[in-house]
Amino acid sequence: MTETHTPGASWHERQRGLRETAILDAAAALMAEHGYAATSVDDIAAHVGVSKPTLYQHFPSKDAIAQAVLVRNLSRAEERLAAAEADIAAGERARARLERHLRDAIGVHNALWGTRAQLPGALRDAPALRKRRERVWARYGRMIDTCKAEGDCRTDVPTALLVRHIVRVFRGDYADLIADGTVTLEALAEILVSLLFDGMAPRAAPRPTSRKRTVPRRALALAALSLVAHAVLLDAQPTTPASTRPLTLADVVDAALRANPTARAAAAEARVAAEQYAAARGSWLPTLTFAPSFVAAQSASSGGGAGGGAPSLGGAQRVTFGPSVNLSYLLFDVGGRAGTVGAARETASVLSLTRDATVQQTLLQAEQAYFGYQAARALSDAQEANVRTATASRDAAVGRYHAGLATVADTLQTATALAQARVAAVSARTGLAAARATLATAMGARADTPFAVAIEPAPDADATRAATAALTANVDSLVAHALRERPDVSAAGANAAVAGERVRVARSALLPSVQVGASAGHVVANQANLAGQSYNVQLGLALPLFDGGARHADLDAARAEQEAAQLRAEAVRTGVVNQVVASADALRLAGDQVATSAALLASAVSSEEVARGRYTEGVGSVVDLVTAQGALATARAQAAQSRWGWASALAELSRDAGILGAAGELPAVAAPAVPPTTRPGAAAPTIIPSSSR
């Protein structure tokens, strides 16, 4: 699924939207697999990689998550039906469009209805869901009414019944039949649609009813159709095996996000900091403990007699049991506690922003590895083309030599040029293998993992020119956007805020604090004089007097750290400005290289064609031919690499300027030039064996 963002939304708003999408995707998958009751909020949070407090910032409960999943899926169904109604209004026959809609829709809704069937009745029939469901049914009803008016659907069956009949098609689950190969999803969809519309087609004449008390044929047909309709595997994968699907840029980005250990570690650290902040907030509340005690003692007595003797255990026995409750609460500490909580809060913010920066760096590395692979493949193809050109020239020289029109020197020069082209082709294939290994590593796979990569067209020269001009027209705006939106800039500012909170903590250590304590207990004993109740309340004042200057040294150190953190934040901002300016210059240069290499290639092709023609006609020298071929080989190599180099420069500028989407998408202005990407929460691509390069 491709995510769309609200125009003008801030980076944080886009992040929030993407996180909510990931939560809903995870909830839909888990509830479809394990059921609503067996899926907990902890499971959903762990699947997404966020803490429960973070998840609750988006959805207040599991019921709210489930309802949001259903509302989202019903909204998508309504959008597809609206498109179908628009096609009917444009002149397409209703039955044909409805058939096409159902064929496309089968395989989409299993998670929706599978989850819905397991929900509590009150949630399943919530007003928001009921209203959307009724709108979907109303759209089906209008399409069926049009089908009836066109004479393609039965008029003797109420429209509402036909609508319910269609809806039942989307509530089946025959995943086992799909899995064991009994039927493919495409075949099942065709059968269901055929059976459905055969039953909806107008009848030429009513069939005579039998006098025997048997089940009517129509009832049997409807029952059979209902059973077959439940055979739909609504959430099945495409029948084309995943092992044959070449990886696109979207797949590479998604695999990198899922497998990169640095990104996963950053996410785990962010969760740890969030929990530590939650723990720090507990210091605002009192501490209450329960402390039961049990004592059994036997007193010793001395032996009798004048001469004394060894002591014996004949004394009194004492048994006591005393449960007590203790309360401790810090009333006042001149900002120390607030500073500790504030530092924990800002630390959580730092690690959350660091996670976001790590994700964007991972995205950039994956994109550059993908573009590098495409550039290496284009170069390899160009070198193979050079080999073919050199082979044709060698063959022409040999033919002219045998015809007595050329010398042996001509054949030797063309053979040498062919050998050089072959060496260059081998070198290009070696570079392609290295680029493949880099791409596999970027996806978190072993370098020797076999997989196929989709052959993407290189960015168009006109598109690169337009995108370069649009993005580099106002570098100041890019700099301002980077300083406002880049997570590493925000993280540096948050680090300075952490240091400021630690100054508050160090300062509070020089000032008094007030703490209250209380306890209550009850002692039960076998001796009356030991039993009773006890209460006490304490109010304590702690005033630091002397510690050898340690507290003042701590305060000075905290202030120095605050100053250093502020300077580091300023250094980060300066570095970001330099990065944006340098990346903009690099993109301009890459755009110029695309334009000049395209012109060079066109000129080299024409020059080589002329030199070949002249040599074939006997009016040109072999030196001219070999020189033209060398120039063509150079032009091909430059053209092959310059456009993908421009795509890599575009990704670099997008990251540096803070406009690289959280899912890896490049700026919209560059959409014609590079393949689009999808969200990180999409289904992970399979790294697959292939004989492709």
Round the average pLDDT of the chain to a whole number and report it: 75
Phi/psi region, residue 49 (left: phi>0; alpha: psi -120 to 50; beta: rest), is left
pLDDT tens column, 279-302: 888 888 888 898 888 888 776 655
DSSP count for the chain of H helices, then E strands: 21, 6
Average the pLDDT over each of 197-201, 357-361, 496-500 and give the range with the smallest value: 197-201
In the structure, what pLDDT confidence band is assigned to residue 486 with cuts at 50, 70 and 90? confident
Taking 80 as the threshold, does the pLDDT of residue 533 lie above it?
Answer: yes
Mean pLDDT of 208-229: 35
* Residue 295 host element (H or E): strand 294-298
Question: What is the rounded average pLDDT of the residues 226-246?
Answer: 35
Whether 144 and 159 have beta carbons less than 8 Å apart is answered as yes
Residue 688 has pLDDT above 50, yes or no: no
Q: pLDDT grade, residue 669 (50/70/90)?
A: very low
Give me the half-sphere count of Cα atoms (radius 13 Å) on the Cβ side of residue 434. Answer: 10
- What are 546's two structure tokens? 């002397």
Give the count of beta carbons closer than 10 Å to the beta carbon of residue 628: 24
Whole-number Cα distances in Å, 166 to 146, 162, 196: 15, 6, 8
User: In angstroms, rounded to a whole number, what is the distance separating the alpha carbons of residues 19 and 359?
Assistant: 13
Taking the C-alpha atoms of residue 263 and residue 36, their distance in angstroms, rounded to an integer, is: 30
pLDDT given for residue 240 in this prediction: 29
The helix or strand, by DSSP H or E, that contains position 524, with its residue range, turns out to be strand 513-525
User: For residue 471, what pLDDT band results from cuts at 50, 70 and 90?
Assistant: confident
CB 56 within 8 A of CB 44: no
Report which of 240, 238, 229, 235 is spatially closest to residue 188, judged by C-alpha positions: 229
Could you give the C-alpha distances from 23 to 20, 41, 54, 55, 594, in angstroms and in order? 5, 10, 11, 8, 42
Alpha-helix residue ranges (DSSP H) falling in 106-248? 110-117, 121-124, 127-149, 159-168, 175-179, 185-200, 217-229
pLDDT tens digits along 99-138: 777 766 665 544 344 444 455 555 556 776 777 778 888 8
CATH of domain 61-202+217-239: 1.10.357
pLDDT tens digit string along 148-183? Answer: 887 778 787 888 887 877 777 665 555 556 656 666
* pLDDT band per the 50, 70, 90 thresholds, residue 64: confident
pLDDT level of residue 578 (50, 70, 90 thresholds): very high
**What pLDDT score does 164 carry?**
79
Q: What is the DSSP string of 290-322?
A: E---EEEEE--B---STT----BS-S-EEEEE-
If one counts every other C-beta atom within 10 angstroms of the C-beta of residue 678, the result is 19
Do residues 425 and 380 make contact, with C-beta atoms less than 8 angstroms apart? yes
Q: What is the pLDDT of residues 251-276, one digit of tens each?
A: 888 888 887 788 778 888 888 888 88
Query: Is the pLDDT score of 692 beyond 60?
Result: no
Neighbours of 284 (CB within 10 A): 11
For residue 453, the cross-strand partners are 247
- Which has more confidence, 133 or 312? 133
> What's the pLDDT band for 685 if we cut at 50, 70, 90?
very low
